[in-house]
Amino acid sequence: MKPIVNDSCIACGTCESICPAVFKVQESDGKMIAVVLDADYESNKASIEEAIGACPVQAISMEE
């Protein structure tokens, strides 16, 4: 399972501060947004779940 970030992301950086191995805020298509990096998602699962819960606009979910 891989985390995904939707268009409601406000690039606040919360996910990146919680799990920098997986999330990075950068420009994508002319907009600042959190992107999902290539990473070992399984070993970062607890931090990813924490980032999902901490996102102020619920922009992160897990892809099935």
Per-residue pLDDT tens over the stretch 13-51: 999 999 999 999 999 889 999 999 999 999 999 999 999
Q: CB-side exposure of 50: number of CA atoms within 13 Å?
A: 13
Please name which of 50, 56, 8 lies closest in space to residue 22, comparing C-alpha atoms: 50
Domains of the chain: 2-59 (3.30.70.20)
pTM of the model: 0.92
